[in-house]
Structure 1
Amino acid sequence: MTIESVPGALTHHAISTYTGSANPSAFLALNEGNSNFTAPGVEGVIVYRRSGRCLVQFGGPFAPAEDYSRLLAAFTGYARRKRLRLVSVQLQHADAVRYAAEGFTVNQIGASYAVDLAGFSLRGSRFVRLRNKISRARRSGLVVREAAAGEWDGALRELDACWLAGKGKHARPLEFLVGQHGGAGHRHRRLFVGTVDGRPAGYISYSPVYGNRSGWLHDLSRRRPDGPPGVAEAINSHAIEVFRGEGVRWLHFGFTPFTGLGREYEVPGHSPAFRWLVGKLWERGEAVYPARSQLAYKEKWAPDTVFPEYIAFRGRASLRSLTHVFRAANAL
């Protein structure tokens, strides 16, 4: 059966407990606008959005190992009965291997990035430009602190509107594959806000990451277009020091489509034509998804771990189904 509702306790239990928690972006399953799929007698949940005649699944099944394939088969059967296309995005490598074995066409679609905070420091020549940018923001009067849940809601909604307006007339706020305010996961996130003269100049929201690289996911950031340079960098630097003081090992920067591509990451049965398309989207796809600017920000922090991420099609790889992924993410 399906549950057409805002995910809550069921989804949080699944992402924090089962094999899908190896996905560093798993917490995004709690985003408002997502739907849950469950099956009688089977543990776990599948998270998805519908886009036209397509179901866009987020991550693999968040389920115990013994129920993983059963839940996936139930979801595949549901899509078939409804005569809907099925595409799954942000699969991890272990998911990709299993989906390929189940007859899906699976290709690398991008990568996610992480920094090991053990021993991390901004000292050294590689971070000179980053340190200068952070210093410049602080000299402008920027003050960064962690905020309580709900403390800045009204001011941050206004900041969001200014940020979006600064992106241009036709800009859309991305959804689904990025974090959000509020919703079922609100109380689990952490929010760091930078202010100048008591007014928010920017913020970063962090979501919990479970599994063997547990820590925090840098999942949503905004800054005021007329604010000083270096706001996001100063906020993230402050958060890193807080996390290190708490003994947190990993800071994840999340998924960026079309990046980190490597032939060695592809799984048997992948589509060479789709691989070519993803390469072209890296070269020319900024209008579809801001992959280059996202990667440039992440690389400032010298991530030392890169995870390939995958897309799986039930049947042949399809540009049409890929389009539905970006429609679900509000990028089209």
Structure 2
Amino acid sequence: MSQHAVALERRIAADLSHHDTARRAACLRQFGGHALSFCTMQPGMSYFDVPGVGYLAYAKYWGMRFALGEPVCAPHLRDAMLDAFLERHPDAVFVQVGKDVVDHLHARHGYHGTQFGSEARIDLAGWSLRGARKQVIRTAINAARLDGIEIREGGFDHDVRRISEAWIRTRRCKNNEIRFLIRPMIVDYREGTRYFYAYRGGEAVGFVFFDPLYRDGHLAGYVPNISRSSANFRQGLWYALMAHAIARFQEEGVPFIELGLTPLQLAAGIEPQESRPLRATLAVIRERMDFLYNFKGLEFAKSRFQGRVEKTYCCHRHALPALAMTAMFRLTRII
């Protein structure tokens, strides 16, 4: 093949990719209400597309397919999308889905639906900083003020990598940024994202990035997807950044924010469709393998905001998907 032919093929592929991205972005702006909807646009994803209906994003790892969240489509077409996807990929694993998806996959396809963690939603209309459990937030705000911290919204700043690399060195999972369940900081598609930075002496020392959530073609809320802060700020700069952003969203009339996944925050009871062996395994990981990830610390931090907690699930074909769970932890770079 000549050089001109190769160049033409690459141009055609780029044009098709741009068309697909634009089509998915339009679908996202219409139906992207799940906490992971925006994450479906991250690099490296594969897609199951149904033109005129929507799409489902998934990642391939160790020969397995992991669907990220729920289909991005009209709610009444969701079950049909799931059925069509499973016709092509009958052993796919679904990560971070709600109870309606669990019930359909269990009844129609015989899947197990095991609680994987929890999500919390803050309805902004009635939220305030009052209350004993929010004392830690108020303390962080006061400490930031005394320390000369200024928080303001801005555009995307590529200098965030410096803060991020310093932050990662203080984490239990030091080798890489977590991916898949959390999108990368630097992505091509950033429409609707919001960036809040904390500055001290003119230098950025922390930030929180928010991704948009949509319902019926309108902005419905935000989810904080990426946050980093200096380890030298002991009172938790994240609390002060979050409180500042929440106040801004309240002024704008934003209905709610999702706090995203709190992994392995598990309810006491076990539902009939859950895998008891997997639930027991996840409980052991939470209690004895906190060195992998600060499960309890994240749960405590998010609980201070007093959001409405709901279960989120992992749907899987086999009762004890040991290989699939290992692959998922590797995919996300937790291990």
Counterparts of 2:278 and 2:173 in 1: how far apart (Å)? 32
1:53 aligns with 63
Question: TM-score w.r.t. structure 2 length?
Answer: 0.85
1:37·1:46 contact (CA, 8 Å) conserved in 2?
A: yes
Structure 1 runs of 4+ with >4 Å offset = 4-7
Aligned partner of 1:87: which letter? Answer: V
Greater radius of gyration (CA) = 2
1:241 aligns with 247
Give the paired residue count: 317
1:24·1:210 contact (CA, 8 Å) conserved in 2?
A: no
2:128 aligns with 121
SS in 2 for 1:225: coil
User: Structure 2: which 5+ runs fail to align?
Assistant: 1-15
Counterparts of 1:74 and 1:249 in 2: how far apart (Å)? 33
Alpha-carbon RMSD: 2.6
Identity of aligned residues (%): 24
2:172·2:291 contact (CA, 8 Å) conserved in 1?
A: no
Counterparts of 2:144 and 2:263 in 1: how far apart (Å)? 29
Moved more, 230-239 or 276-285: 276-285
Counterparts of 2:17 and 2:300 in 1: how far apart (Å)? 36
Counterparts of 1:292 and 1:159 in 2: how far apart (Å)? 24
Counterparts of 1:218 and 1:62 in 2: how far apart (Å)? 19
**Structure 1 residue aligned with 2:280, among 251, 276, 284?**
276
Aligned partner of 2:327: which letter? Answer: H
1:36 aligns with 47
SS in 2 for 1:254: strand
1:164 aligns to 2:168 (yes or no)? yes
Distance of aligned partners of 1:228 and 1:129 in 2 relative to their CA distance in 1, 3 Å threshold: closer
**Structure 2 residue aligned with 1:318, among 313, 317, 321?**
321
**Structure 2 residue aligned with 1:146, among 153, 158, 164?**
153
- Aligned residue runs from structure 1 range 138-287, under 5 A: 138-148=145-155, 150=156, 152-153=157-158, 155-167=159-171, 170-211=174-215, 214-227=220-233, 229-263=235-269, 266=271, 268-287=272-291
Q: How far is 1:184 from its partner?
A: 4.0
Moved more, 225-234 or 251-260: 225-234
Counterparts of 2:164 and 2:153 in 1: how far apart (Å)? 18
SS in 1 for 2:125: coil
**Structure 2 residue aligned with 1:289, among 264, 289, 293?**
293
Question: TM-score w.r.t. structure 1 length?
Answer: 0.86
Counterparts of 2:297 and 2:17 in 1: how far apart (Å)? 33
- Aligned residue runs from structure 1 range 92-103, under 5 A: 92-101=98-107, 102-103=109-110
1:142·1:231 contact (CA, 8 Å) conserved in 2?
A: no
Q: How far is 1:123 from its partner?
A: 2.7
Moved more, 156-165 or 254-263: 254-263
